């Protein structure tokens, strides 16, 4: 154990180890490449289970595409993307929801980690064979002469993705014997462009039954959450008619009941409809006449009412003039030099209009200064 001194007390504890041991690579991930999140939910015979793939080596998106290819073609279940942030409308890159029959969903979730590990192990073996082809074949040596190390690194990553996508699809189809064995391409061909053909040749060699996990499958199915049954209200029974058609109901025969009496089913207006209409018209005319007579009496009473109050009455009893009939006018005599007034004047129409006299002249004042100016 290193001793702690004053010089190393304030330093990073990992700095000394980095200087002595150099760069230390991160430990390789050895855990499962896919895990089930939560419990499986079953509602009306349909199960849903969320699965998250691991992003080890930054291959999480490729593993998600492999899961989508294996689900529908291999196990008969559907996949649905999961929202990482529903408000931002952002999908999760490494999560999927498996939907389908409960037994199929449980089997697929249990077999998925083993299938991903087998497919990626097959891709790693194929990359080693591709490196051998580059070293020993004429096509490979020519490609190596034309391209450098950086180009081979990029081509190897792209070739691995293409190989895994096609291999996952062919493995899923091989579970139902939909794919037959094919021969691998010859050594003299260009393997750089034959990744799908190599995946088809090695798909039948992967045993999917060997990676089954019966215990995990049983636990997923046993721990499933069943939705509570929804109580559906029973619909009211439909009203059943005694007649087969509308014509039979209209022309039904006369029915007789001792308690009710004669029940006659008819269609259209009654036989005495003309008499009823005439009676209704006569009643309407009588009502109109009564209303008209009442209106005439009310008008007569208003005509006999007392006359309007005179000007001699108190101001409270005088009628208020309408402001709509007044207009600006110049009033003479109210103020010394006249003014504009908006108020209506009430005057007796029988008297002649008396105009106000002119305002008195201004008084002239004589001062000593004005007398001197005149002289």
Please report, in tens digits, the pLDDT of each residue of the chain (375 residues total).
444 444 555 566 666 666 677 676 777 888 899 999 999 999 988 999 999 999 998 899 999 999 999 998 899 999 999 988 878 778 888 999 999 999 999 999 999 999 999 999 999 999 999 999 999 998 899 999 998 889 999 999 999 999 999 999 999 988 887 777 778 888 888 899 999 999 999 888 888 889 899 999 999 999 999 888 767 777 777 777 777 788 887 777 766 666 665 555 555 566 666 777 788 888 888 888 888 888 878 777 776 655 555 555 555 555 555 555 555 555 555 555 545 555 555 555 555 555 556 566 665 666 666 676 666
Beta-sheet pairing, 339-341 with 329-331: antiparallel
Cβ atoms of 102 and 70 within 8 Å: the answer is: no
The pTM of this model reads 0.56
Question: Which residues, including other chains, have CB under 8 Å from residue 181's CB and lie 6 or more apart?
Answer: 201, 204
With CA atoms as reference, report the closest residue to 342 among 329, 325, 333.
Answer: 329
Structure confidence at residue 2 (pLDDT) = 45
Taking the domains of the chain in order of start, what are their residue ranges?
34-225
Angstrom distances, CA of residue 15 to CA of 5, 11, 230: 15, 7, 63
Structure confidence at residue 154 (pLDDT) = 93
Q: Cα separation of 375 and 373, whole Å?
A: 6
Element (H, E) at 126: helix 102-136
Q: How many CB atoms lie within 10 A of CB 161?
A: 15
With CA atoms as reference, report the closest residue to 108 among 54, 100, 10.
Answer: 100
With CA atoms as reference, report the closest residue to 75 among 45, 112, 113.
Answer: 112
Q: How many CB atoms lie within 10 A of CB 201?
A: 17
Structure confidence at residue 260 (pLDDT) = 62
Q: Cα separation of 254 and 98, whole Å?
A: 67
Structure confidence at residue 300 (pLDDT) = 78
Cβ atoms of 51 and 64 within 8 Å: the answer is: no
- Long-range pairs for 22-30 at CB < 8 Å and ≥24 separation? 29/54, 29/56, 29/57
- Secondary structure in 3-state letters for 163-205: HHHHHHHHHHHHCCCCCCCCCCCCCCCCHHHCHHHHHHHHHCC
Structure tokens at 90: 């952002």
């Amino acid at each position: 154990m290193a001793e702690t001194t004053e010089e190393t007390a304030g330093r990073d504890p990992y700095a000394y180890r980095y200087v002595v041991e150099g760069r230390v690579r991160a430990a390789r991930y050895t855990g499962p490449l896919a895990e089930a999140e939560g419990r499986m939910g079953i509602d009306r015979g349909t199960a849903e289970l969320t699965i998250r793939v691991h992003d080890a080596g930054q291959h999480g998106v490729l593993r998600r595409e492999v899961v989508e290819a294996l689900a529908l073609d291999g196990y008969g279940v559907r996949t649905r993307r999961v929202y990482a942030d529903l408000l931002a409308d952002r999908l999760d890159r490494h999560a999927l929801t498996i939907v389908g029959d409960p037994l199929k969903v449980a089997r697929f979730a249990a077999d998925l980690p083993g299938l991903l590990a087998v497919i990626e192990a097959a891709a790693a073996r194929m990359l080693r064979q591709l490196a051998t082809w580059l070293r020993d074949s004429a096509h490979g040596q020519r490609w190596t002469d034309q391209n450098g190390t950086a180009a081979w690194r990029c081509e190897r990553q792209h070739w691995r993705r293409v190989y895994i996508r096609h291999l996952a699809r062919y493995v899923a189809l091989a579970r139902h014997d939909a794919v037959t064995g094919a021969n691998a391409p010859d050594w003299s061909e260009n393997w750089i462009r034959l990744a799908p053909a190599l995946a088809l040749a090695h798909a039948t060699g992967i045993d999917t039954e060997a990676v089954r996990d019966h215990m995990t499958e049983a636990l997923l199915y046993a721990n499933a959450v069943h939705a509570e049954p929804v109580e559906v209200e029973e619909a009211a029974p439909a009203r059943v008619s005694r007649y087969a058609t509308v014509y039979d109901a209209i022309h039904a025969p006369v029915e007789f009941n001792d308690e009710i009496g004669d029940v006659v089913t008819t269609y259209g207006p009654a036989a005495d409809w003309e008499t009823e209409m005439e009676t209704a018209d006569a009643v309407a005319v009588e009502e109109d006449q009564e209303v008209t007579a009442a209106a005439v009496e009310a008008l007569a009473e208003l005509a006999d009412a007392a006359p309007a109050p005179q000007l001699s009455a108190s101001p409270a009893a005088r009628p208020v003039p309408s402001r709509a009939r007044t207009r600006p006018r110049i009033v003479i005599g109210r103020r010394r030099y006249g003014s504009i007034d908006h108020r209506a004047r009430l005057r007796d129409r029988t008297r002649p209009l008396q105009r106000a006299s002119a305002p008195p002249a201004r008084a002239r004042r004589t001062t000593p200064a004005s007398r001197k100016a005149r002289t």
